[in-house]
Amino acid sequence: MEDIVNANKKLLTSKRLPPCKGPRLHAFRDSKAPITFLELLDRPGPPQASGFQAYVFKVSIKSRTYALKVFKFYKPSDGKKFLSKMREGLVTDELAAFHCDPFYAECRAYGRIDELKKQGIVKEKFAAACYGFLGLRPEEEEKIAQMGVNLWDLPKDDEYRRTAEGSPARAIVKEYIEGTTTFGLRNCKQMLKSLRLLNKHGILLRDIKEDNYKAGLVVDFGSAWTMPHCIMDAVPEEVAEGWRGVDMQVFDDMLEEHNLHSRLRALPNIRYQMMLRSWNKRRKAVPGYL
């Protein structure tokens, strides 16, 4: 028991996480300062609900207001649920956790965004600012427990829970953003531009929905896959290629929900594509027609 608990405690003293190849997020610079919990902002639905990953609090640290996302504990082997039995052996439980655990998924996504900013590739703001990760102290864990927070979904007799219970809670400190997103044409054009930029630079959000945006900015990377990614590397290329297109398909679904699909599309209109292919075929059949 102590081995896994101590290993998890040690991880949260790192300067950057996760400890594997690829992008990493820095520790929050004021991680030793006390946290004042002001309000529980997002209370997840029932345990069986999709996206039940974390709790978000409005907090104050050194007189500054932040959004603190506190993550539920994650069973490392769960990261391999996307693989067939035949391919599970291609990925270790440890690497699956470092790539798929929502806490580490956010660390990797924000790590990539930091890289893009340093390289001057990203200049416009498209996501809530991230200030780093931290581990909660026992008194802070007790405080959120009093607010009705339970960070364990696994049954008490689960082997991983029995060996890992007592590990510190993991959290990421973000910009606190008031209000919601207005889904108008102008806003959605900017959101789509940002999504294309993320995809281009190896970040697949994989959970595009209205709740994951505030003021037009992405606020949730808990389901994101940031390249290189062990699951993408372990599946056939045609499967990986299909997954790369999911963000755009789901964004189009969101546009349709807000009656914007006739004015903006992430993917080209299929009927238009078919007409264009037919036109190109006819064009090539006529000598001298360019």
List pLDDT tens digits, range 234-248: 999 999 999 999 999
Is residue 290 domain-resident?
A: no
Is residue 146 domain-resident?
A: yes
Is residue 37 domain-resident?
A: yes
First to last CA, the chain: 72
Instruction: Give the least confident one: 59-68, 73-82, 132-141, 262-271.
Output: 262-271
Distance CA 202, CA 47 (A): 30
Is residue 218 domain-resident?
A: yes
Is residue 95 domain-resident?
A: yes
Distance CA 250, CA 231 (A): 20
Mean pLDDT estimate for the chain: 90
Q: Rounded to 5, what percent of the chain is helix, strand, coil?
A: 40, 15, 40
More confident residue, 52 or 120: 120
Q: What is the pLDDT of residue 30?
A: 97
R_g of the chain computed on alpha carbons? 21
* CATH assignment at residue 214: 1.10.510
DSSP-assigned letter for residue 235: S
List pLDDT tens digits, range 90-131: 999 999 999 999 999 999 999 999 999 999 998 889 999 999
Q: What is the pLDDT of residue 60?
A: 99
Per-residue pLDDT band for 45 (boundaries 50, 70, 90) equals: low
Per-residue pLDDT band for 261 (boundaries 50, 70, 90) equals: confident
Instruction: Give the least confident one: 15-24, 42-51, 59-68, 194-203.
Output: 42-51
Number of domains observed in the structure of the chain: 1
Is residue 85 domain-resident?
A: yes
**C-alpha to C-alpha distances, 15 to 83, 127, 132, 213, 225, nearest whole angstrom:** 31, 23, 10, 28, 22
User: In the block, which residue shows the tokens 């902002």?
Assistant: 41
Per-residue pLDDT band for 181 (boundaries 50, 70, 90) equals: confident
pLDDT at residue 23 greater than cutoff 90: yes
Could you list the residue range(s) of the whole structural domain that residue 27 is in? 2-285
Is residue 268 domain-resident?
A: yes
Is residue 16 domain-resident?
A: yes
List pLDDT tens digits, range 70-86: 999 999 999 999 999 98
